[in-house]
Every structure is written in C-alpha cells, then in structure tokens.
Amino acid sequence: MTQTVRHVSETSGLVSEMRQMVQAGQPAPVVDDPDQLERTVTAKVATFLMVMLVAIIFATSAVPDVGPSLAKVIQAHL
C-alpha cells in the first residue's frame, strides 16, 4: 500500500482551496412559511424518537443474555 505525504506548499494550496469552497457555498434557506417549519420540526422530532425507540429495542434485547451471566458472576463473588 502506497501512501503519499503532501508537501507543505501542496497543503497550503489544499487549505486555500477548501476555504474557497466553503465561502462559495450556498447559505441555508430561511423558512418563512410557519407550516413548512412545523412540518420540518415535526419530522426531525419523529425521526429522533424513532431512532431512540430502535436503540432501546436493541439495548433491551441484549438484557436477557447479559442478565443470567451477570447474576452468576455476582453470586460467585458472594
């Protein structure tokens, strides 16, 4: 596997190129419509809640596997 090391002059050119790309970027659109803003916020909240629900489901599905073995370890130390 070959890995190239950038020369200092190349990195400064890369940094200035990235800076130009950021400055030329489009600003985020401002939402003037309250209904659209409400839909956007509602969608983001619903997405967050769904992700949390899936995380809780995965976490609780692992508990039956951990519970008995953890009980054995605790009992062994008593």
| 8-48 residue pLDDT tens | 666 777 788 888 888 887 777 777 888 988 999 999 999 99
Look up the pTM and report it. 0.45
Does a structural domain hold residue 71? yes
Does a structural domain hold residue 70? yes
Q: In which domain, by residue range, is 17 found?
A: 8-25+32-77
Instruction: Report residue 32 as tokens.
Output: 């003037």
Does a structural domain hold residue 68? yes
46 residue type, one letter: A
Domains held by the chain: number: 1
What CA dihedral angle connects 38, 39, 44 and 48, to 10 degrees? 100
Does a structural domain hold residue 58? yes
With beta carbons less than 8 A apart as the criterion, state whether 76 and 70 touch. Answer: no
Does a structural domain hold residue 2? no
59 residue type, one letter: A
pLDDT for the residue 17? 84
